[in-house]
Chain A
């Protein structure tokens, strides 16, 4: 694990210009990376797939697909139960991934790594356990105006149940949360803060470290929706000071159905369980149940073992490439795409925060995003169109929907150029 931590701090995330990156495959070899993803060979309507919907879900490298096949072909059994060899292998496979995740986000202990279905379940877990235990009538839960529905609705449900207030810090015209507004919104009634690390609709990177520090001055814990951050930048939960941090495997080149909730051990220890069932107990009688130790207290029922194995393979894959290099390459590609789209007349980028990752949301004059999406699809280009599960963000900009191109490590300059040509085609079509 220490080797992993070193890789991420060896200066690989210094800014490197795109041309330099492309001419120096030793730093980042996108063509070799593309060979790892079988789906990139697909033809869509007879054209090569250009996959720019990575904020919705990422594609899977062969290493992850192979790990799933290997698990079901050689190791499949239930975990933490039987004495037979296969069960031992499956159990060890799960725990190996737990150790990898701990290193990946630099948590203090594997007790702090809880396997969940995805970011959404992780956030709901915190709302239903820590939230229900600590939020009372008249208290406040603070969120921001750029949250995904999954970081709004669980808190809304909690606040409705407890007659607490859901307070929102609104974003500015660039899609940035004004820090002074955020600081002002914290008060003695705040019990919890929930924030995205990176906005899925706009790409804004929040200055989480500072925001968490502000919340901690009021002794308020912070829950982070990290779904859009972990695939694109090194994340260290202890450096951030995050109290809870949730992310999904499927956006991280892993399988769907598996995700992680990190929580500080002291907080997790004091929390009631989330779901009841097998695995989360130490002993059960009809009178009383003793709960299991961390992290199993929060993992009722048979886990998604194959998903956990696949997540482990995905983390290995990313680790081998290095998130520093990935972040640097994607940053340059995003700058390139942003400049190219900005040059198009009649196209407006929604979300112009100075610090962004992966996402470009835009609207084309005279063409509805749905029509843009259909025309791009015919060019083999997959983008997301709609409200991106962030209707309040759309309302903020007084639009119903945007077209969103979201990048990942396997996207190229040529693909961005194809997107630009595709947008031009849309404009010709509706001119």
Chain B
């Protein structure tokens, strides 16, 4: 079971069972819907941009452990950041999921997703929230899809 524990690290199990920053956000300035047609996961993301920083961010939706934990940890990771900083965090996170090299040292809790790289079918679960964030910040009205 050690390999499964690499995928479902404690942080991921914790955040999938008790996701942070869920629900509706009052006075949201940006929002987007994310959809993974492969598994039916849906995610609704709302955030408030204030003085160039993400002052508040919340999500709602149903998903697998990986996508729920990813959304939860993402909201923690980007709160207080500028959109540019959030985008850079996504790039580092994406590298962690897809590239064979040591993870960026400043990933923090997001490093818990290092095991996903061994499960190519699950990369989209981990990136759904981030793609949705990107769409929200760009103000794209259309729901984003992983397909």
The reply on B104 being an interface residue by CB < 8 A is no
CA distance A425 to B3 in the complex (A): 14
Q: Are B122 and A374 in contact (CB under 8 A)?
A: yes
Interfacial chain A residues near B62, Cβ < 8 Å: 368, 400
Q: Are B64 and A394 in contact (CB under 8 A)?
A: no
Given contacts A371-B65, A430-B65, contact A401 B40 (CB under 8 A): yes
The reply on A386 being an interface residue by CB < 8 A is yes
The reply on A56 being an interface residue by CB < 8 A is no
Residue-wise interface mask of B (1-45) relative to A, using a CB-CB cutoff of 8 A (1 in contact, 0 not): 101100110000100010000000000000000000011111000
Interfacial chain B residues near A394, Cβ < 8 Å: 40
Interfacial chain A residues near B8, Cβ < 8 Å: 371, 429
Q: Are B13 and A370 in contact (CB under 8 A)?
A: no
The reply on A282 being an interface residue by CB < 8 A is no
| Shortest Cβ gap from B37 to chain A (Å) | 8
Q: Are B40 and A400 in contact (CB under 8 A)?
A: yes
Interfacial chain A residues near B1, Cβ < 8 Å: 425
Residue-wise interface mask of B (124-138) relative to A, using a CB-CB cutoff of 8 A (1 in contact, 0 not): 010000000000000
Ranked nearest first, the 7 interchain pairs of A and B with the lowest CB-CB distance are A400-B40, A368-B64, A370-B64, A401-B40, A370-B39, A371-B65, A387-B40
Q: Are A368 and B3 in contact (CB under 8 A)?
A: no
Interfacial chain B residues near A45, Cβ < 8 Å: 3
A-B contact pairs, 12 of them (CB 8 A): A45-B3, A368-B62, A369-B39, A369-B64, A370-B39, A374-B119, A378-B4, A400-B41, A400-B42, A400-B62, A401-B40, A425-B1
CA distance A374 to B7 in the complex (A): 10
Whose C-beta in chain B lies nearest to the C-beta of A399?
Answer: B40
Given contacts A370-B64, A374-B119, A430-B65, contact A386 B38 (CB under 8 A): yes
From B62, B64, B119, B125, residue with most partner A Cβ within 10 Å: B64
The reply on A385 being an interface residue by CB < 8 A is yes
The reply on B63 being an interface residue by CB < 8 A is yes
Given contacts A368-B63, A371-B64, A371-B66, contact A401 B39 (CB under 8 A): yes
| Shortest Cβ gap from A364 to chain B (Å) | 12
Interfacial chain A residues near B66, Cβ < 8 Å: 370-371
The reply on A105 being an interface residue by CB < 8 A is no
Whose C-beta in chain B lies nearest to the C-beta of A366?
Answer: B17
CA distance A386 to B147 in the complex (A): 14
A391, A400, A429: the one contacting B4 at CB < 8 Å is: A429
Residue-wise interface mask of B (45-75) relative to A, using a CB-CB cutoff of 8 A (1 in contact, 0 not): 0000000000000000011111010000000
Residue-wise interface mask of A (325-349) relative to B, using a CB-CB cutoff of 8 A (1 in contact, 0 not): 0000000000000000000000000
